[in-house]
Structure 1
Amino acid sequence: MSVSTLLDDLAKQISEAIPPGARNLQQDLEKNLRAGLNSVFAKLNLVTREEFDVQAEVLARTRAKLQKLEEHVAHLEAELLKAREQ
């Protein structure tokens, strides 16, 4: 669920909780709630699940590549040490 959809749903649920006599304020309230919630979420620096998953995948690939490079460096260092001993 995107942040925008979440904000829309949350604002709608809150505005629907308003008594029927005050429904003429509903659109105004929804707009103000949406703006306020946008501000709060922006300050929290939240990311969507999709963005998080993409970054987690990038991190996993980077870690795997780093592991291979570390193994390769260790192999090269061992070969260099062996060559110096000869």
Structure 2
Amino acid sequence: MAAKGFDSTGSKLSDAVREIEEMADARTGGQVALAVVDGIGWKGRMADLKRIWDLWDTGEIDGLYTLATLAQFRTYLDHFAALRGVVRLGAST
């Protein structure tokens, strides 16, 4: 799992897209690639956001989430962890 957060409205968002593309390219068999994007900066970087959307739309990444859909993200993580026999930190037993 990789995570990165920053406050930016410019080229850092293009860097984020590139990192998501690299994750998608590098994943193997049982690995999952998910992206969480949110913030006003994406409004000015629609072409970059579309690149991420296209990765999701073509199945190159397994999920695309925003802060508004974090509950779905958590549900997916729990499902994936259960399939792999992994317990997510902080999850109740």
Q: Which interval holds the TM-score relative to the shorter structure?
A: under 0.3
When you count helix as a share of all residues, which structure comes out higher? 1
When you count strand as a share of all residues, which structure comes out higher? 2
